[in-house]
């Protein structure tokens, strides 16, 4: 339990000093300074428990899953399925068979667009998204709409940066088949209560997909209690490894959907002219899956579960409230999104007058402070905000009030001694050479 450095009575329920000992990457220095990692919304650091679980799988019992009648294969399959069960329990899924492993949330949403969308959506059908969405929850539906003649509508934002749910009745027409939205915005930090959207969509017979990438690692999530039809999240944002993500789906929906990819392990029986698919989740996990990564993700949710997601959320809310208060005192700094910490996750996106976000990030790095700069894979939202790019600090279990102080002190130093903005800086943080080679326009 810690009190913030301004002497206010803000407290958090986590022992951050103890938690930080579990993260090897945080035990080093960058440019002679202790690591202050404030980019966990992009990808979090990994605790020893995750690293050891994966190393143990490779060192002691490695074999392919679901395919061997010998000890190594049976043991690794058991660990793989135990991870699936742990994740189901972590998010309140009624059954482990409703947990499909994917490479990441992006692949999970593409799976939905391909398997559900191409099977059940027809020309003229409508999909409702929001103005807050990450590209992962926009581009798959945009491509599907272009291909199938669908219409995409968006829930707009209020001036505060929350969803304007007063528009729901006008948007949710009988032609709407799917509503897909972020539980927590990766740019504005906005927390959206899923319940009114789910209830009103279901009343019209529409399905709901929840992008839980920025909520599953940070607050209690119960997909069963919410009655969500689908939910997705990525392992690498929640202390787990890269290359593993999750699609949750209602059992009857997964049963009705065809495979996304075909090949090994998705078929129960194959002849030269017919195929009988496996049941979910196996029919969606073609080929050799990322089973060691799944075991790592299982260890990550176990680690988070021991801390308690309610405690994690309370900790991050206290840090966010403190950050909003301290950053607001800096002249020329503008914060985007709700000003009430109760309405946002542990994300603070901002700009500083006269200094490009990329230059802010580069200058802070010289102090050992890692933040994100760019458009955060949310270009349409940045256009709505009138921004080419922004800077973003994000918090999780290994951050404390001293990290916020380091950020504020670093920004104050930048304002006292502005860095030189480089010409032709790419707003999405790619180097100009890479951007030009790939055919992107420089912002």
What 8-state DSSP symbol labels residue 186? T
Under 8 Å between Cβ of 239 and 46? yes
The single residue of 167, 213, 377, 429 carrying the catalytic annotation is: 377
Q: What is the largest CA-CA distance in the chain?
A: 74
Whether cis (ω within 30° of 0) applies to the bond prior to 2 is no
Coil, strand, or helix at residue 184? strand
Under 8 Å between Cβ of 83 and 56? no
Note if 167 is an active site residue. Answer: no
The Cα 281–Cα 88 span in angstroms is 12
Q: Which long-range contacts (C-beta less than 8 Å, at least 24 apart) are formed by 327-334?
A: 327/407, 327/408, 327/411, 330/408, 330/411, 330/412, 330/415, 331/415, 332/415, 333/411
Helix or strand run (H / E) with residue 321: helix 309-328
CA proximity to 221, closest of 195, 190, 245: 195
Helix or strand run (H / E) with residue 316: helix 309-328
User: Where do the DSSP E strands lie in 286-389?
Assistant: 333-336, 347-352, 369-370, 372-374
> Using only C-alpha atoms, what is the Rg of the chain?
22
Under 8 Å between Cβ of 370 and 25? no
Under 8 Å between Cβ of 113 and 102? no
Which residues, in sequence order, are CB contacts of 169 under 8 Å at separation 6+? 200
Under 8 Å between Cβ of 129 and 186? no
Integer CA distances (angstroms), 62 to 195, 265, 341, in order: 42, 18, 45
Helix or strand run (H / E) with residue 210: strand 207-211
What 8-state DSSP symbol labels residue 262? -
Q: What DSSP line would sit under 133-155, residue for residue?
A: --GGGTHHHHHHHHHHT-EEEEE
**Catalytic annotation, residues:** 377
């Amino acid at each position: 339990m810690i009190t913030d450095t301004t002497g206010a009575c803000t407290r958090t329920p986590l022992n951050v000093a103890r938690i930080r000992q579990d993260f090897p990457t945080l035990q080093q220095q960058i440019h002679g300074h202790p690591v202050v990692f404030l980019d966990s919304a992009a990808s979090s650091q990994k605790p020893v428990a995750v690293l050891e679980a994966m190393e143990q799988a490779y060192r002691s019992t490695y074999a392919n899953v679901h395919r061997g009648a010998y000890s190594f294969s049976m043991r690794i399959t058991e660990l793989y399925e135990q991870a699936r069960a742990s994740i189901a329990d972590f998010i309140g899924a009624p059954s482990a068979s409703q947990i499909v492993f994917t490479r990441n949330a992006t692949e999970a949403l593409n799976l939905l667009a391909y398997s559900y969308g191409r099977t059940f959506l027809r020309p003229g059908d409508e999909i409702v998204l929001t103005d807050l969405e990450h590209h992962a929850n926009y581009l798959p539906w945009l491509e599907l709409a272009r291909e199938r003649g669908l219409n995409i509508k968006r829930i707009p934002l209020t001036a505060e940066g929350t969803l304007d749910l007063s528009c729901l009745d006008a948007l949710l027409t009988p032609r709407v088949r799917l509503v897909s939205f972020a539980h927590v915005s990766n740019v504005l930090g906005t927390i959206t209560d899923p319940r009114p959207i789910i209830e009103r969509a279901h009343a019209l017979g529409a399905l709901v997909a929840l992008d839980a990438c920025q909520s599953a690692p940070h607050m209690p999530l119960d997909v069963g209690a919410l009655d969500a039809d689908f939910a997705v999240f990525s392992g690498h944002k929640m202390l787990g490894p890269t290359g593993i993500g999750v699609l949750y789906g209602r059992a009857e929906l997964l049963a009705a959907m065809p495979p996304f990819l075909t090949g090994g392990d998705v078929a129960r029986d194959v002849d030269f002219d017919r195929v009988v698919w496996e049941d979910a989740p196996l029919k969606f996990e073609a080929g050799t899956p990322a089973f060691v990564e799944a075991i790592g993700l299982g260890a990550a949710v176990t680690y988070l579960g021991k801390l308690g997601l309610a405690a994690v959320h309370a900790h991050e809310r206290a840090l966010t409230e403190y950050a909003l208060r301290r950053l607001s005192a800096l002249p020329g700094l503008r914060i985007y999104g709700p000003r009430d910490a109760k309405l946002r996750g542990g994300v603070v996106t901002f700009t500083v007058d006269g200094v490009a976000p990329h230059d802010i990030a580069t200058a802070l790095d010289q102090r050992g402070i890692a933040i994100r700069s760019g458009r955060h894979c949310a270009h349409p939202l940045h256009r709505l905000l009138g921004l080419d790019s922004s800077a973003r600090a994000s918090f999780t279990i290994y951050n404390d009030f001293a990290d916020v102080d380091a950020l504020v002190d670093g920004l104050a130093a930048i304002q006292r001694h502005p860095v030189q903005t480089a010409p032709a800086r790419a707003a999405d943080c790619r180097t100009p050479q890479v951007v030009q080679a790939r055919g992107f326009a420089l912002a």
